[in-house]
Amino acid sequence: MNSTHQHDRRSAHVPARNAGMRLDKFLVEHFSNYSRRQLMRVLKTGTVLVNGRPGRAGLELKSGDQLELPVLSEAVAHVKEERAHAREALQPVESVVELYRDDDLLIVAKPAGLAVHGGAGQMHDRTLIDVLKKDILAGFGLAHRLDKDTSGVVALVKGEELRAKTMAAFASDDGGIEKEYVAVVRGVPEPAAGEIALPLLPPAFRGMAKVDKARGKPSLTRYRVVEAFPEAARLTVEPLTGRTHQIRVHLAAIGHPLLVDPIYGVRNRRKVADARGIADANLKRTPLHAARLALPHPRTGVRVEVRAPLPNDIKYVLELLRIAQGRARKPAGSDDAPAAP
């Protein structure tokens, strides 16, 4: 292999002496100033071509095969940068973000992993109430709740009378409350849009709610497939009633539980592979995000609507699913950008 820049050369022909050698071993032999791991990561990006096609690590080379390579110093640096972005995207967001505030109403975005208040199993964990201690002392109180591992919009109201009024609106099926969630589920629901009307009993044994057509309360969930992948889908979900765990139970009941759900699914974590070989996602929580909330203002009755940005962990999982399907750009009409550039 003759070149003035041997270690960064763009193209080469396979010599006869290397016929039958695996592509990965060939690269390690001829570019010894890079580690095998670095070269394998570049290989997985699909930028090493053999006779015009992306080469696989185990491909056996033939004499005269045409290799086209990126400038390896640049390619290795690019992969390193991508991995740094991916690691950042995989870090859990721990901060509570304020979305709306006035004298009577406070709306925040809660990160996954933060319980809204203390309870069973939360005795020594920090909660949303702890984070908002100053506001709680000033008279704000929770108007509803989210599960610990669900991220997104939470509303608090100041004063017991107004808070009771808002809590009643949340509890009522016609209280003027609109909620919209993003859910990543196993498989792709058919039809692509529909309603799930299954009566539910509240959690009892082992904290599980369940479908019970004889004794359950009427429960209605509307869903729509926003993105479909070979083994998963991104949904927009609207609970039209407010039962505990309603979305999780209803999705599981139609055979499409959340991608991770230790109670109503079959997994307590899920690895989503990165086809580029940069950084896999290890999803450790239920991929459910309260993305939008609309409600009548507790004092004036004027409609207030807020949205909570999709958190990085779900964004990155979706990005890897898009990459695996051959489309890594933001889909038309979606409200999130890829987490890893």
pLDDT in tens, 126-166: 899 999 999 999 999 999 999 999 999 999 999 999 999 99
Res 77 pLDDT > 90: no
The residue with greater pLDDT, 331 or 112, is 112
- Give the Cα separation of 238 and 193 in Å (integer): 11
Residue 327 pLDDT: 64
Mean pLDDT of the region 43-54 = 88
Res 205 pLDDT > 80: no
Res 1 pLDDT > 50: no
Name the average pLDDT for the chain: 87
Under the banding of pLDDT at 50, 70 and 90, the label for residue 118 is: confident
Q: Which of 103-107, 131-135, 314-318, 324-328 has the least mean pLDDT?
A: 324-328
Under the banding of pLDDT at 50, 70 and 90, the label for residue 61 is: very high
- Give the Cα separation of 56 and 309 in Å (integer): 38
Return the structure tokens found at 152: 């997104």
Where are the alpha helices (H) located in 45-192, listed in sequence order? 72-90, 128-131, 133-137, 160-171
Model confidence over 254-279: pLDDT tens digits?
Answer: 999 999 999 998 778 899 998 888 88
74-78, long-range: CB < 8 A, 24+ apart: 74/8, 75/42, 75/45, 75/47, 76/34, 76/38, 76/41, 76/42
Residue 311 pLDDT: 93
Name the amino acid, one letter, at 140: F
Which residue reads 């949303």 in tokens?
128
The residue with greater pLDDT, 248 or 10, is 248
In degrees rounded to 5, what are phi and psi of residue 125?
Answer: -95, 145
Given a contact cutoff of 8 angstroms between Cβ atoms, the answer to whether 326 and 194 are in contact is no
Under the banding of pLDDT at 50, 70 and 90, the label for residue 86 is: low
- Give the Cα separation of 289 and 126 in Å (integer): 20
Residue 204 pLDDT: 79
Mean pLDDT of the region 190-218 = 91
Residue 336 pLDDT: 58
Residue 69 pLDDT: 87
Share of the chain above pLDDT 70, in %: 87
Residue 193 CB neighbours (<10 A): 12
Res 210 pLDDT > 60: yes
Q: How many CA atoms lie within 13 A of 123 on its CB side?
A: 2
Res 288 pLDDT > 70: yes
Q: Is 147 a catalytic residue?
A: yes
Residue of 24, 104, 147, 274 marked catalytic? 147
Share of the chain above pLDDT 90, in %: 61
